[in-house]
Amino acid sequence: MSNDSIYQELRSHLTTLRLAAAAEALPGALDAALAEKQSHTEFLKRLLDVEVDATITRRKESLERFARLPAPWSLEDFDFDAQPSVDRAMVTELATLRFLEDATNVLLIGPPGVGKTMLAICLARASIEAGYRTYYTTAADLAARCHRAALEGRWATTMRFFAGPRLLVIDEVGYLPLASEAAAALFQVISQRYMKSSTVLTTNLGVGSWGKVFDDPNVAGAMLDRLLHRSVVFNIDGESYRMRTHRARAERLTSKGGGR
């Protein structure tokens, strides 16, 4: 068999095995092997490195699309100095994702604009980067989706969907009052994840006032029990970051104006 036909067959093997990146890299890798007098093992390893990298990238992109994060934030963007009520060491620890191993939940509690959604998204981003199935939803979207599912006879499938992700972010619990059906959906999602997988939940409600937003204070209590049983809670106070940047800009403008 000529070198040429061996090469053709090797390429076609790689394609049959769906190793498209390796197939594409083959000519370059062969040239490099000759030029650098690589051993067989080294050549093969380098060729497969290309395929492994492509697979990891593809998987990450797919996790990324699935997660539906509403913003591209990651932890490097979070300004800890601006938010002294957020325990930096704790956030850094959470970013290692060890909390996913024992299904610890994270509760981010605080008024609007203090960075709750941002922190939740930063953890979700880290989780995607580490290769975990991750999903973001607001409480209102979750409720609407469960409502539709109930009408269309897809309740069980939808519950399985929300049980699936290794990390689920439920954003903005308590912004809108939840009718009893919506509260029941949220309760079921939290119950079935309890002790199995982590949920990051953001809310503007102190735990004391959960009863008021849910029609049934018993449901609220049971939900909190499960969420808090194994959890890290951040009570974030201070002023809104949005207002802060807005005010800083306004102050800069007025001080410039005053100087003239």
Residues near ligand ADP (CB under 6 A): 73, 77-79, 82-83, 110, 112-118, 202, 241-242
203 forms part of the interface with Mg ion (CB under 5 A): no
The binder of 114, among Mg ion, ligand ADP, none, by C-beta within 5 to 8 A per type, is ligand ADP
Q: Pick from 221, 144, 143, 215: which is nearest to 185 by CA?
A: 143
Q: Pick from 176, 173, 175, 203: which is nearest to 187 by CA?
A: 173
Instruction: Report the distance separating Cα 202 and Cα 122, nearest Å.
Output: 13
Instruction: Report the distance separating Cα 250 and Cα 232, nearest Å.
Output: 36
For residue 210, give Cα distances in angstroms to 167, 174, 218, 260: 23, 8, 10, 52
Q: Which of 105, 117, 137, 199 binds Mg ion (CB under 5 A)?
A: 117
Residue number, 51 or 171, with CB nearest to ligand ADP: 171
Stretch of residues binding Mg ion (CB under 5 A), selected from 27-35, 97-105, 111-119, 156-164: 111-119
CB of 233 to Mg ion, least distance (A): 17
Instruction: Report the distance separating Cα 94 and Cα 63, nearest Å.
Output: 20
Residue number, 105 or 138, with CB nearest to Mg ion: 138
198 forms part of the interface with Mg ion (CB under 5 A): no
Residue number, 105 or 117, with CB nearest to Mg ion: 117
